[in-house]
A and B are shown apart, each in its own frame.
Chain A
Amino acid sequence: MKKLLGFLLPTITALMIVILVVFVYYPWVGEVFASRVKITEKKDNLTILQAKAQVLQDLDEKQVENYLLELELLVPSQPLPGYLLSTLEDDANLSGIIIKDLQYASTAVQKEKVVLGFLIEGDIEQQKYFLELLKKDAPLMEVSKVDLLKDQAEGALFTNSVLLSSPIQSIPESLSAIETPIEGLSTKDQDLLKKIRDFELLELGGEETKVQTEKPQGKADLFTL
């Protein structure tokens, strides 16, 4: 018995090794490795988020709002038939052409665009001017198809069958995941934004009406002369 007691310490040490390996080292090492993987992922994530947050912080919200308002006039979020037709009417009046067979129905709204077909009648110069005016119109209008039919009876007059399409771009209903990177306004975007002013936009607001804050006041003391 005394002999066996002499091996008590090595036995305890051996048991301790087993216990430590099974219950401490193995879970801890596993935890450290798992954390390392998570840290690498989080670092990547953080880089993306920091870049995104920086882009958003560098933007002037008021300016972006103004850009959006101006772009809304060029590329509306929903069909604006009244606005579209009145623009065409103005162009026709300015160029002197006659618009015929123009009808707007709900069927005109197709995949992210309003499609309008009509006839225009006028001489070459008038038609060229009309097309030139379309180029600068807001909302945007693309001539997607033209049938030029010379009116033999009228000599110099042409009847042109035009198919116009005006793009629509709806406002996004939901945003992508928070980790999805975004880009700020690039130089190309800035150049395009400068071109917005080339189009005939409606006046946006104008001078703000000043609210009269000072009320008319009478005498401080009514009983003095």
Chain B
Amino acid sequence: MRQWTQLKRTTNLSSVAISVILLIVTLALFLVRQNVLADESDLEEKVNQQRQIITQKKSLEGKLLSVKEKLQVLAAHIELSVNQREILADIFDLESENYHITKAVINEERLVEIEGEASDYQNIADFLLQLKQKDKYIDFRVKEISWDADSQSIDYKLKFTLKQ
């Protein structure tokens, strides 16, 4: 009987202790939850504020986007046009009595083809050397060279690409 009373007492005491611990845990968890929810709500508010600012500046964003897109086109144009015009100027400058240029083609793939006439092979060699010295043409290929006995001249066809 005494043992029974002892057991009952211990069990009841344990129950009280567990209840107190449960209460503390519940309270702590409640506080953590409230804190986290408050943080989330606070962040949500801040995000909404920023969204509102951005929405108000929507028109400016569109203009900025458009400016940037057009600037990209302009940048590509400046870079490309320098090379294309340089080569045109080069071709015009190289035209002389020694090597007449009869045809020059610069296509969209930045491939340059020149056809012309020269009085001798040395002149063609000089012409190629001058082009090489410009240091912006690569992949030289002499496509065709033929001697025209009637006109005492050499027809040449050259092909090269522009440096990227």
User: Which A residues form the contact surface with B (CB < 8 A)?
Assistant: 3, 6-7, 9-10, 12-13, 16-17, 20, 24-25, 28-29, 31-32, 35-36, 38-39, 42-43, 45-46, 49-50, 52-53, 56-57, 59, 61, 64-65, 67-68, 71-72, 74-75, 124, 127-128, 131-132, 134-135, 140, 142-150, 163, 167, 169, 171-172, 175, 178, 182-185, 188-189, 192-193, 195-196
Contact call B73/A167, Cβ cutoff below 8 A: yes
B152 an interface residue at 8 Å Cβ cutoff?
no
Interface size class of B (residues with CB under 8 A): 35 or more
Contact pick for A39, options B33, B43, B100, CB 8 Å: B43
CB-CB under 8 A for A146 and B103, given A25-B29, A42-B43, A182-B65? no
Contact pick for B95, options A3, A28, A124, A189, CB 8 Å: A124
Which of the candidate stretches B8-16, B122-130, B131-139, B140-148 sits at the interface with the other chain?
B8-16
Contact call A7/B65, Cβ cutoff below 8 A: no
A interface: dominant SS: helix
B24 an interface residue at 8 Å Cβ cutoff?
no
User: Which B residues form the contact surface with A (CB < 8 A)?
Assistant: 4, 8, 11-12, 14-16, 18-19, 22, 25-26, 29-30, 32-33, 36-37, 39-40, 43-44, 46-47, 50-51, 53-55, 57-71, 73-75, 77-78, 80-81, 84-85, 88-89, 91-92, 95, 100-108
Contact call A178/B44, Cβ cutoff below 8 A: no
B interface: dominant SS: helix
With CB as the reference atom, state the residue of chain B lying closest to A188: B75
Contact pick for A189, options B26, B30, B71, B108, CB 8 Å: B71
CB-CB under 8 A for A61 and B88, given A74-B74, A142-B77, A192-B75? no
